[in-house]
Chains A and B, each alone.
Chain A
Amino acid sequence: MKSQLVGAMALVLGVANVASAEDIRIAVGHQSKCTDTYSAGIILKELELIQKYLPRDGKYKDVSYTFDWKDYSSGSPITNQMLANKLDFGVMGDYPLIVNGAKFQATKSLETKYIAGTGYNQKGSGNAIVVPINSDIQTLAELKGKSISVPVGSAAWGMTLKAFQDLGIDTKKDLTLKNQSPSVGAANIAANKIDAHGDFCPWSEIMEFRGTGRKIFDGSEAGVPYLHGVVVRNDYAEKYPEVVVAFMKAVVEAGNWVRNDPVHAATMLEEWTGVEREVQYLYFSEGGALTLDPTIKAEWVEALEFDHTVLVKEKTIPPLDFKRWIDDQYIRTAYKDLGLDYDKDLAYTRVAKAENMKLNPAEIWHKDKGILSYDSVSAMLSDKDSFGKAGTLRASYVYDNTTGLKIFGHIATYVKGSDGIVTAFMRKIDAEAFATSNGGSLMAAGSTSVTGELIKQASMH
């Protein structure tokens, strides 16, 4: 009888003990198919970076942590799951971020905070309009009277409307705008069933890498920054500020992990997400389209405010008090704890056109030799030794002379100047203008053994 009583007491005490040890949930909604979110999503998950910085003393002495990573194909469901208290953190792009902040502020008792960025392109590269690889179309103006598809409601849709509006083309009268998902649009581009398709990253680059599509318009031409970031439920941040700081430290480390070895990062990211490593490298290598800067810059806030006005015009969206929503205290604390200078990173904005021209103008990802960097495009194109065997080339990279963007070598148009210097262009029309004004001629596709190999190998993907 006595032993039974002791047993029951032990059971009760055991239960009480378990109950007193708090379990803190860290539930994150991320997007493993959206390259811009990786530094607060898939990288943290796979490398278990948050665990490294979680508080273990003071009020956190006896707590345990439970992680819940949920993967989504867009930002909207993440907001819904955050509202339902199923997620604490969300990682998403600019438009969904605004919807997130506005939806929460529209409630009586809930709010989120925008606490860090995960990546940006200062000019808005990331969205693009692509045509089938063999299409004669080179400019947006040539799409007048044609059919173009876009995922309506996405950031790429907003960019497409603005791009045509800027040209004075009425999207209702002057062309047929169709509604297609990224996968359907990509399939139609590959099958040459649509004249053009507007989409967000990484879809345009995937089409280019697979050799099915070619960009004729890059989001950077719209000139509005494209960014992604992290939001957290305010009640969670107030209750566990140290956990939020730990998350921020992990974001900083994830960025460093990519920068330190982009080839390894691209390879691992392919393994984790399925998005090809050559595409990942285009984004995350030095000179790539994305930065991994988590600071919240004044110009990003301005861009978000602009995006909010676009959404207000397009459909009903609640107002958003940006001052109440944006909160950089956690990322600032993370920087301070890591011994880093937040204000220095805050003051720096990478401008592709100015800075990429300082880098070596061409790279090749060789299957056996890794990344080979060249001091001129012509040096890369004449490097026949590196392509002796078929299947040795993973991808090649050059910079568009017009925008400074890093692009795949096999989709570029090359101009050979009268001085023998070869310059790369994303769009043929820019290459022709350059050749006319600077003296030179367009190199025919496949005119050297290397460009021929680039194209041949691209078609093998």
Chain B
Amino acid sequence: MIRYLSIAATSIRAYKGTFVLVSLGFFVLYYAALLLATMLRFGEIPNYVVFHDIIGIYALVLQGTPSLQDAIPIMLGEAWLETGFKDPLYYGVATWSYMLIPPKMLLVAIMGMLLGLFASLTLYKRKQACLLDNDRRLFAIAGIGTTFISLTSATLTWVVCCATPSWVVALAMLGMSASLALALEPLGQALTLAGFGLMAWIICVQLKRLVVTNDLSLAT
């Protein structure tokens, strides 16, 4: 385990720029693409934006919720920023909204860092006197993991589907029937866990191979 961590740290140090670029890039691109895709899907530019006092909201939730077990999931759903489109033709009803929810942002940031680590490990492995090529299947798995987490981290609302932020809005926007999308909603957590599981697995595979490579290099 310590060797794994050491190799991970070494690869990040060796490719610091790549790690930061991929981690940060994924985070920024994810939220920018989510907003852009929503705007393109509806053909509307956001016409309102609200910043919420998230610390004040957390305090309010804790104050009004005796059980911490209840308070935590409530806090997890609170938004820090909300923007969207209110239809002026029909009394300013918000047709859709895009939200930034801190715990979801944290998940996306962790996902970005995992991708950054994976990229660093891949480059580090290429630089070593590798006995094994980088396995393309790992890239495919990274893609699947990223898709799962990206999809289930979407925090959108749409008046025809969900009035509260939900990841299934993204599915409905992609054309899936709202009934089916809503039926899939409970799978969100499992998909997120599966996404992180896949990412953790491919990183472990890369680390294991690097350990083997290093051992072989030392032996020869």
Q: Which residues of A contact B (CB under 8 A)?
A: 32-33, 72-77, 80, 83-86, 107-110, 151-153, 179-184, 186-187, 233, 235, 273-275, 314-316
A183–B96 CA distance with the chains assembled, in angstroms: 12
Contacts of A108 in B (CB 8 A): 67, 69-70
Choose one: B78, B91, B160, B183; the contact of A33 (CB below 8 Å). B91
Give the contact stretch, choosing among B56-64, B110-118, B197-205.
B56-64
For residue B190, CB closer than 8 A to chain A, the reply is no
Q: Between A and B, how many residue pairs show CB distances below 8 Å?
A: 98
Known: A83-B74, A153-B162, A179-B178. A110 touches B65 (CB 8 A): yes
Cα–Cα, bound, A86→B179 (Å): 30
Inter-chain pairs besides A179-B178, A274-B91, 6 sampled, C-beta below 8 Å? A86-B57, A153-B161, A179-B177, A183-B95, A184-B160, A187-B89
B66 neighbours in A (Cβ, 8 Å): 109-110
B131 at the A/B interface (Cβ < 8 Å)?
Answer: no
Within the complex, the shortest CB–CB distance from B46 to chain A, in Å, comes to 16
Q: Find out whether the CB atom of A109 lies under 8 angstroms from the CB atom of B65.
A: yes
Total interface residues on B, using CB and 8 Å? 38
Q: A33-B93, A85-B65, A182-B93 are in contact. Are A315 and B74 (CB under 8 A)?
A: no
* B102 to A: closest C-beta gap in Å: 14
Shortest beta-carbon distance, A45 to chain B, in Å?
A: 16
**Nearest neighbor of B87 in chain A, beta-carbon distance:** A183
* Candidates A182, A233, A235, A316; contact of B159 at CB < 8 Å: A182
Tell me if B94 counts as interface (CB < 8 A to partner A). yes
Interface membership of B164, Cβ < 8 A: yes
Contact across chains for A84 and B172 when beta carbons are under 8 A apart: no
CA distance A33 to B94 in the complex (A): 12
Cα distance, A32 to B57, chains bound together (Å): 24
- Does B141 count as interface, using CB distance less than 8 angstroms? no
Contact of A84 among B74, B94, B157 (CB under 8 A): B74
* Chain A nearest Cβ from B91, distance in angstroms: 4
Cβ–Cβ contact B182 & A153, under 8 A = yes
Among B61, B67, B93, B172, which residue has its beta carbon within 8 angstroms of that of A85? B61
For chain B, residues 103 to 156, give those with C-beta under 8 angstroms from any C-beta of chain A: none
Q: When the two chains form their complex, are residues B70 and A110 in contact, meaning their CB atoms are under 8 A apart?
A: yes
Which A residues are in CB contact (< 8 Å) with B164?
76-77, 80
**Bound form: Cα–Cα A86–B87 in Å:** 25
Binding site for A on B (CB under 8 A): 57, 60-61, 63-67, 69-70, 74-75, 77-78, 87, 89-95, 157-164, 172, 177-179, 182-183, 185-186
Nearest neighbor of A80 in chain B, beta-carbon distance: B164
Q: Which residues of A contact B94 (CB under 8 A)?
A: 73
- Residues of chain B lying within 8 A (CB to CB) of residue A273: 91
Contact, CB under 8 Å: B185 / A84: no
* Chain A residue contacts of B93, Cβ below 8 A: 33, 73, 182-183
**Bound CA–CA A274/B91 (angstroms):** 6
Q: Name 11 interchain pairs, CB-CB below 8 A, sorted by A.
A: A33-B91, A73-B163, A76-B163, A77-B157, A85-B60, A86-B57, A152-B179, A183-B90, A233-B64, A235-B64, A316-B185
**A151 and B60 contact, CB distance less than 8 A:** no
Least CB distance from A269 to B in Å reads 12
Q: Which of A181, A182, A316 is the most central at the interface, judged by chain B CB atoms within 10 Å of its CB?
A: A181
Q: Chain B residues near A74 (CB, 8 Å)?
A: 159, 163
Report how far A197 CA is from B177 CA in the complex, Å: 16
Shortest beta-carbon distance from A272 to chain B in Å: 11
For the complex, would chain A's binding face be called helix, strand, loop or mixed by DSSP majority?
A: loop
Q: Is the CB of B177 within 8 A of A152?
A: yes
Q: Could you say which residues of chain B place their CB within 8 Å of the CB of A186? A: 90
Given the known interface contacts A85-B63, A235-B64, the answer about A152 and B161 at a Cβ–Cβ threshold of 8 Å is: yes
| Cβ of B124 to closest chain A Cβ, rounded Å | 45
A255–chain B nearest beta-carbon distance, Å: 23
Bound CA span A23–B186, Å: 40
A183 touches B162 (CB 8 A): no
A119 to B207, CA, bound (A): 65
Residue in B closest to A235 when the chains form the complex, CB atoms:
B64
Contact B70–A181 (Cβ < 8 Å): no
**4 nearest A-B pairs in the assembled complex, by CB-CB distance:** A85-B64, A152-B178, A109-B67, A76-B163
C-alpha spacing A275/B172, complex, angstroms = 29
Q: Which residue on B lies nearest to A187, using beta carbons?
A: B89
Give the chain A neighbours of B78 by CB distance below 8 A: 84
- Given the complex of chains A and B, what is the CA–CA distance between A316 and B188 in angstroms? 14
User: Complex Cα distance A180/B172, Å?
Assistant: 11
Q: B74 to A316, Cβ gap below 8 A?
A: no
Distance in angstroms between the alpha carbons of A160 and B53 in the assembled complex: 40
In whole Å, how far is A437's beta carbon from the nearest beta carbon of chain B? 41
From A74, A179, A180, residue with most partner B Cβ within 10 Å: A179
CB distance from B71 to the nearest CB of A (A): 8
State A72–B70 Cα separation when bound (angstroms): 24
Contact across chains for B60 and A107 when beta carbons are under 8 A apart = no
- Nearest chain B CB to A41's CB is how many angstroms away? 14
Q: How far is the CB of A53 from chain B (nearest CB, A)?
A: 24
A41 to B185, CA, bound (A): 32
A184 to B162 CA separation, bound complex (whole angstroms): 16
Which A residues are in CB contact (< 8 Å) with B74?
A: 83-84
> What's the least CB distance linking B153 to chain A, in Å?
18
Residues from chain B with Cβ under 8 Å of A180 in the complex: 160
Do B159 and A181 touch (CB < 8 A)? yes
Question: Distance (Å) between the CB of A401 and the closest chain B CB?
Answer: 32
Query: Which residues of chain B come closer than 8 Å to A72, judged between CB atoms?
Result: 163
Q: Report the minimal beta-carbon distance from A111 to chain B, rounded to whole angstroms.
A: 11
Question: CA A152 – CA B163 in complex, angstroms?
Answer: 11
- B161-A84 in contact (CB<8A): no
| Nearest-CB residue, chain B, relative to A73 | B93
Given A181-B95, A315-B185: A151 and B70 interface contact (C-beta under 8 Å) = no
What's the Cα separation between A80 and B73 when bound, in Å?
Answer: 11
Q: Known contacts A179-B172, A183-B87; is A315 also within 8 Å of B70 by CB?
A: no
A107 near B67 (CB under 8 angstroms)?
yes
Q: Are B159 and A315 in contact (CB under 8 A)?
A: no
Contacts of B162 in A (CB 8 A): 76, 153
Closest to B172 in A: A179
